[in-house]
Amino acid sequence: MDFLLKLEDTLRQRKKDLPENSYTGGLFRDGIDRILKKVGEESGEVIIASKNENSNEFIHEIADLVFHLEMLLVEKGKSFQDVVKELEKRHS
């Protein structure tokens, strides 16, 4: 969990600074529609990878999806911690 919070801090800084040669800076500059498109693409790739036998590919695609979901959370002014709290509430 610590890494996800650190990643979130990095993404918040990239959103603020919008570095020119940064993948995440470019996505933040392009806005919510571009971030949502990436979430959709990565979701599809997770579905396909989960049907295959390559566990490395599956983990790789899950990591891509989580990364882009973190970007979406930052774009919407939310935190992964908000998601964790919701899960805890549902399963307590």
Look at the pTM and tell me if it is higher than 0.75: yes
Q: What is the pLDDT of residues 13-33, one digit of tens each?
A: 999 999 999 999 999 999 999
2-90 adopts what CATH topology?
Answer: Helix Hairpins (1.10.287)
Q: What is the pLDDT of residues 36-56, one digit of tens each?
A: 999 999 999 999 999 999 999
Q: How confident is the model at residue 1 (pLDDT cuts 50, 70, 90)?
A: confident
d(CA 25, CA 14): 6
Q: How confident is the model at residue 11 (pLDDT cuts 50, 70, 90)?
A: very high
